[in-house]
Every structure is written in structure tokens, then in C-alpha cells.
A = this chain, B = another copy of it.
Amino acid sequence: MSKIPYKIYLEEKEIPKVWYNVRADMKNKPAPLLNPATLEPMKPEELCGVFCEELVKQEMDDNTAYFEIPEEIRDFYKMYRPSPLMRAYRLEEKLQTPAKIYYKFEGNNTSGSHKLNSAIAQAYYAKKQGLTGVTTETGAGQWGTALSMACSYFDLDCKVYMVKVSYEQKPFRREVMRTYGASVTPSPSEETQVGRKILAEHPGTTGSLGCAISEAVEKATTTPGYRYVLGSVLNQVLLHQSVIGLETKAALDKYDIKADIIIGCAGGGSNLGGLISPFMGDKLRGEADYRIIAVEPASCPSFTRGKFAYDFCDTGMVCPLAKMYTLGSDFIPAPNHAGGLRYHGMSSILSQLYHDGLMEAVSYKQTEVFEAAEIFARVEGILPAPESSHAIRAAMDEALKCCETGEEKTIVFGLTGTGYFDMVAYEKFHNGQMSDYVPTDEEIQSYLDKLPKTE
């Protein structure tokens, strides 16, 4: 019997005291956000109309390697962090693999995912600036739930635009958010100009993250004392989420474990970026090497089939342009696509790293993902979120390769959350009603043809 426990818990005093900013170690920095009108890099004062001041500083700082985590945020982290690093002994046995599989489990909190790590930071800075409320969008609902919890903790108003398809598939999420005092609106809505415009152009649309972002930004910039906050994509979010990777690394170090492969699911990049940041830092500084793999849905394949270009972050084109792997800001995955990872673009940081060949990307169809989810649930006892299950699938496939080669690779993946609010998707899977629709090349090209011209 190995000495490594099933669950490696750090102590509360080992919660990181700083976030790590991977940009500081990147030779090729992520491209700056552009003002959509002038195509000039956004100035801090322009961004401050949308975001909190402190968060704008974090967003634009490509050089400071470490940011201190304020005491109030660390106190909140103590409610659910450090999160455990789990050794997947049973999954290894099930696969009969010589590989050693670990997963960092971020689902043991009421928001059900890692999103809380950044939500509490963003709520804290909003409160510190004396704001009265924040707006946001949510897709699968994890981010909205996380932000509701964070706002409730700091007594801030919280207005959530929820992608309509998720609002309908996950009515219970809404009640969790209400329990924490948030107001929740299905998007697109009639409440905003951009929402009304999208509804007029696409009646019956099931919504998209890009569209919900537009509504939330409009609401924030037209309501005094409000700002907008975002749960993924942005540099600041990856900074906050680095707490995942820092804890993972500390836990591995505690048992002298050297990771070979790091795997994370990728929607906008919040989890993947947070998990890999310190490992990528090692790699960028030449101190260690890892294979790093992003896993995305075949129905929304921004890394594997998108283009590295400047694009709008939102459907309504009210946000700045970001340089990223994108499918076009109009791209909306098929409505049959279950759960999150529906965003058309990808974090600029991760896009640059991928472009520079520092990480890989793979995509999976829904059914493959849910098959992995069910196996994992049965042997590891945790019912995974569909998003997280992308990483499970890829980790299982890497472990199965080790069966062939006999290599005892150490695989670490991010289990971002639980699937308790995704039972509609599981039900479709059980009933064989899950579609594996993948967009055609022509479809994708038609969206890419509409990318804004920036050069």
C-alpha cells in the first residue's frame, strides 16, 4: 500500500498568501485589449468604467509576478480551502494503468466549482471601492452561484444574466442564487438595449455567454455604483485562480511527486489557467517541463478549430477586443450541448501560450465525455460536472496510453466541480438522447469571416 493518502489536504495556514501572475514569466506577453472604436490599446481609465480599479491594475500588469492575497479573502478561502488533491487509486485500478492519476478537486463548496476563488476576490475589490453592486453573466450557473455567495458575504447587490438554455435546464441554480440574495434574469432579456436587439435578430435564441456578457456590461455601465465582473477569460481571473495551481504544487511537493502531464478543461480558461499557472511558470523559466493539455468540447472548439485573432469578447460588441483563439463572437454552440464551456473565445494568456507551442489542446464529443463521467462517478464516488468531465476523459485516455507503453506517468487533472445541477444532461445521456453534433468547417468559417479587421 502506497504511503500517499487518497486525499492530500494542506493545512489552513498553507493556503497561498499570494497569487501568481504567469504573465511575468512569459517572454511573449498576451496582446493588450483594444478599444473597439479606436483599435488602440485600452487605457486604464477606460477600463475603470467597466471594472473595479484594483482589478484593472491586475488586468493590465504583465510584470508583477506575485500579488498579495488580502487577509479578508484568505479568511473566506478558509471556509472551503485548501481543496484536496486526490489520488485516483480506484480509477487507476479500473483502467489497469501503470500511470498515477491525481486530481485537484474544487467542487467541495456550495457554488460547486472553482469559480468561488475569483468571485470572492472581485466582490472584495468592489466593496473596497465603495460600490453598491455588480453585474455578471453566468452560463452553466457555477459562476453566478459563486458570485452570489461572494456578494452576500460582502453585502453587495448581485445582478446575474443567465444564459437562457441554462436558466431553463437548471432552474434550481436560480434558487441557490436567490438563497444568497441575487437577482437572476434569463438572457437575452428585454431589460437591456443589446438584449432587445439580439432577441429581434434571433427570436427563439437559447442565448450564449457572449450575449449575456453584453447585457451585464450594459447594465453595469448604466447603473450608478455598479461595475461588471467576469468569471473567466480575463487576466485577473487567471491570477485569482492561480490559487488552484499553487495549492496543487504544494501538495505534490509535500510528497515529492513530480507531475508529467497537467490536464484541465477549457471554456474561457479560468480553471485551466489557474491550475497550470505555476507549472507553466516553471516551464517558462526552464526549471521543469510538463505536457500541458487543454480539453474542450468538440461542439465549441476554440483552441482546436478557432483562429488566433483579435475578436470581441461579447456578442453585442460592447466590450473591448481581445486577441485570442476564437470561433467568432457570433458563434453559439448547438443547444443540445450540455453544460458550460460554451464561450466562443479563450483567455488571451492561454491563447498566447498555446500559440507559442507551450501547451496542447484536444476536443471530445459529449457522449465520450459523459461515458468518462459515469465511470469516474462509480469508481471515485464523485459525480462530476460535465465541464470537468472533459478533463477526466483526457486524463483517462492518457492513462490508457500508459497501459500500452508501460510508462508510469504522473497525470494531474483539474476536477473543477460537481454535477448535481446537471442531472438534465445526465438524464439525456442515460436515455440515449445526447447529440454529438459538431459544427462543420463551413459553419465555423462563416463565423471567422466576420472577425473584426484590426490590421
| A149 in contact (CB, < 8 A) | yes
Partner of A426, one of B110, B179, B423: B179
Residues of B contacting A374 in the complex (Cβ-Cβ under 8 angstroms)? 179
- Which residues 398-448 of A sit at the B interface, judged by CB distance below 8 A? 418, 420-421, 423-424, 426-427, 430
Interface size of A in residues (CB-CB distance below 8 Å): 42
Partner of A109, one of B5, B379, B381, B424: B381
| A79 in contact (CB, < 8 A) | yes
- Which residues 62-100 of A sit at the B interface, judged by CB distance below 8 A? 76, 78-80, 90
Mark A171-204 against chain B: 1 for CB-CB distance below 8 A, else 0.
Answer: 1100110111100000000000000000000000
- Which residues 1-22 of A sit at the B interface, judged by CB distance below 8 A? 5-7, 9, 11-12
- Could you tell me if A380 and B79 are in contact, using CB atoms closer than 8 angstroms? yes
Rounded to whole Å, the gap between the CB of A198 and the closest CB of chain B is 28
Residues of B contacting A381 in the complex (Cβ-Cβ under 8 angstroms)? 76, 79-80, 109-110, 149, 153
Partner of A110, one of B109, B179, B181, B382: B382
- Could you tell me if A426 and B78 are in contact, using CB atoms closer than 8 angstroms? no
- Could you tell me if B5 and A78 are in contact, using CB atoms closer than 8 angstroms? yes
- Could you tell me if A175 and B79 are in contact, using CB atoms closer than 8 angstroms? no
| A355 in contact (CB, < 8 A) | no
| A152 in contact (CB, < 8 A) | yes
Rounded to whole Å, the gap between the CB of A287 and the closest CB of chain B is 31
- Could you tell me if A179 and B380 are in contact, using CB atoms closer than 8 angstroms? no
Partner of A423, one of B79, B175, B378, B427: B175
Partner of A377, one of B110, B171, B383: B110
Residues of B contacting A378 in the complex (Cβ-Cβ under 8 angstroms)? 149, 152-153, 179-181
| A367 in contact (CB, < 8 A) | no
Instruction: Give the complex CA separation of A12 and B152 in angstroms.
Output: 34
Residues of B contacting A58 in the complex (Cβ-Cβ under 8 angstroms)? none
Instruction: Give the complex CA separation of A407 and B76 in angstroms.
Output: 28
Mark A135-163 against chain B: 1 for CB-CB distance below 8 A, else 0.
Answer: 00000000000000100110000000000
- Could you tell me if B6 and A11 are in contact, using CB atoms closer than 8 angstroms? no
| A132 in contact (CB, < 8 A) | no
Known pairs A110-B383, A171-B423 / 20 extra A-B pairs, C-beta < 8 Å = A7-B12, A9-B9, A76-B381, A79-B381, A109-B381, A109-B382, A110-B381, A112-B420, A172-B172, A172-B421, A172-B424, A175-B423, A175-B430, A178-B426, A178-B427, A179-B374, A179-B430, A180-B377, A180-B378, A181-B378
27 pairs of residues in contact across A and B, judged by CB atoms under 8 Å: A5-B12, A5-B78, A6-B12, A76-B381, A79-B381, A109-B382, A110-B382, A112-B420, A149-B378, A153-B378, A153-B379, A153-B381, A172-B420, A172-B421, A172-B423, A172-B424, A175-B427, A176-B420, A176-B426, A178-B426, A178-B427, A178-B430, A179-B378, A179-B430, A180-B377, A181-B378, A420-B420
Q: Across chains A and B, which 9 residue pairs bring their CB atoms closest together, nearest first?
A: A172-B423, A175-B423, A420-B420, A79-B381, A6-B78, A110-B383, A5-B12, A175-B427, A152-B378
